Amino acid sequence: MVNLRPFDSGDADFLYIWGNNPEYTGRYEPFEPVTRSELDDWLPREKPGILWYVIETRGGEKVGQIVARLQDDGSYQIGYRVIPPARGRGVCSDAVRTLVCHLFASGVQRIVAEASPKNKPSTRVLEKIGFRAIDYKKKALDLNGVWLDGVVHEIKIRP
């Protein structure tokens, strides 16, 4: 249902428009507005240890982003966002499934994701793909003076 494509300079408009819309960030992560020049500077740069993809429909419409960051222990931590008009249609689940399969096929053994327990859509996506909750962090994130807990989820390749 979706394709993952590495971000490039042609995605600056998408990131500028949605990156400056707090609904895209959602209620469980800090909203960090971005300028055009920051994007133009950052997009073409090498990003060692970071896999950063735009989520596109088969028709080529940009509907979100997904990132995987290499951790010290060789696992990857993933994060994702879907634009509000495309939510609730399985886009994120499909993107996470695709990325997990790609990472496992590349030799990665373990993938983790952290979500607020209040973030039901994100938690549901992880459950559906087969992640399991392994750690509960009290006061994991200070969101403008409000502390949010975090649940660490992991998925490991089957031996």
Ligand X SMILES: CC(C)(COP(=O)(O)OP(=O)(O)OC[C@H]1O[C@@H](n2cnc3c(N)ncnc32)[C@H](O)[C@@H]1OP(=O)(O)O)[C@@H](O)C(=O)NCCC(=O)NCCS
Residue 97 near ligand X by CB under 6 A? no
Between 39 and 116, name the residue whose CB sits nearer to ligand X. Answer: 116
Cα–chain center distance at 74:
18
Question: Minimum Å distance from CB 25 to ligand X?
Answer: 6
Question: Minimum Å distance from CB 44 to ligand X?
Answer: 25
Residue 121 near ligand X by CB under 6 A? yes
Residue 53 near ligand X by CB under 6 A? no
Residue matched to tokens 């060692």: 48
CA angle, corner 106, sides to 101 and 112, nearest 5?
A: 60
Q: Could you tell me the CA-to-CA distances from 62 to 2, 23, 32 in Å, in that order? A: 10, 16, 20
Question: Minimum Å distance from CB 107 to ligand X?
Answer: 25
Question: Minimum Å distance from CB 56 to ligand X?
Answer: 13
Please select the residue that binds ligand X; options are 29, 38, 149, 154, rule is CB under 6 A. 29
Residue 91 near ligand X by CB under 6 A? yes
- For 42, phi then psi, to 5°, come to -85, -40
CB 129, CB 93: distance < 8 Å = yes
Binding piece for ligand X, criterion CB under 6 A, among 8-16, 31-39, 42-50, 87-95? 87-95
**What is the Cα–Cα distance from 140 to 148, expressed in whole angstroms?**
6
CB 141, CB 159: distance < 8 Å = no
Residue 124 near ligand X by CB under 6 A? yes
Binding site for ligand X (CB under 6 A): 26, 28-29, 79-82, 87-93, 115, 119-122, 124-125, 128
